[in-house]
């Protein structure tokens, strides 16, 4: 069994789509980034790569590579899962938390879990998503940014 930890932090920008866990959430602001800015999926990718001893998302998908400009982060996730498979590893479980002041994310958890589980080759019950606010404090609390953390367990395939 192998365990990995992932973290990501993105600025919020007016007029961008908000994508979290591969799901578009109506908001009016979205996460800035070279790809779609999906901080939750990026944190999960980093946790998976960490658990496999494969470095981090920036090494595999550099933000200088035009191939990943505006790319769906689910595409990156699918590629990470493929790289794990090539090492004889499969994902057993994911837990995660999004840190955001607004909007309310709980109504979107079920779709995020289904969407991420499909990309990971898991059942939604093995992919947990939670959310926290910072009670108005710091950049996240002022609505200037969102963060995400993830932890994963890998098993031998
Ligand atoms: Mg990111």
* Ligand 1 geometric centre to CA of 130 (Å): 18
Ligand 1 center from residue 82 Cα (angstroms): 20
Domain spans of the chain, in order of start: 2-63+75-156
Calculate how far, in angstroms, residue 34's C-alpha sits from the geometric centre of ligand 1.
8
Centre of ligand 1 to C-alpha 7, Å, is 9
Residues 113/129, Cβ–Cβ less than 8 Å: yes
| pLDDT band at residue 64 using 50, 70 and 90 as cut-offs | confident
Q: How far is the CA of 122 from the centre of ligand 1 (A)?
A: 23
Rounded Cα distance between 91 and 136, Å, is: 35
The rounded mean pLDDT for the chain is: 96
Q: What CATH superfamily classification does 2-63+75-156 receive?
A: 2-C-methyl-D-erythritol 2,4-cyclodiphosphate synthase (3.30.1330.50)
pLDDT of residue 70: 83
State in Å: Cα 146 to ligand 1 middle.
10
User: How far is the centre of ligand 1, averaged over its atoms, from the C-alpha of 35 (Å)?
Assistant: 8
Which tokens belong to 62? 């550099």
How many CA within 13 A on the CB side of residue 150? 30
Kindly report which listed range (9-18, 60-69, 73-82, 137-146) carries the lowest average pLDDT score.
Answer: 60-69
CA of 37 to the centre of ligand 1 (A): 6
């Amino acid at each position: 069994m192998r365990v990995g930890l992932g973290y990501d932090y993105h600025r919020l920008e007016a007029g961008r789509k908000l994508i979290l866990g591969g799901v578009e959430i109506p908001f009016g602001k979205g996460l800035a980034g070279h790809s779609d800015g999906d901080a939750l999926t990026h944190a999960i990718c980093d946790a998976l790569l960490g658990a496999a001893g494969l470095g981090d998302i920036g090494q595999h998908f550099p933000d200088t590579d035009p191939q990943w400009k505006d790319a769906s982060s689910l595409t990156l996730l699918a590629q990470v899962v493929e790289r794990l498979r090539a090492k004889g590893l499969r994902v057993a479980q994911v837990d995660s938390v999004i840190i955001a002041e607004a909007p309310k994310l709980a109504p979107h958890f079920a779709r995020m879990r289904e969407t991420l589980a499909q990309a990971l080759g898991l059942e939604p019950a093995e992919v947990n998503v939670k959310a926290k606010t910072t009670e108005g404090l710091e950049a996240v609390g002022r609505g200037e940014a969102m963060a995400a953390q993830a932890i994963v367990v890998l098993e031998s395939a």
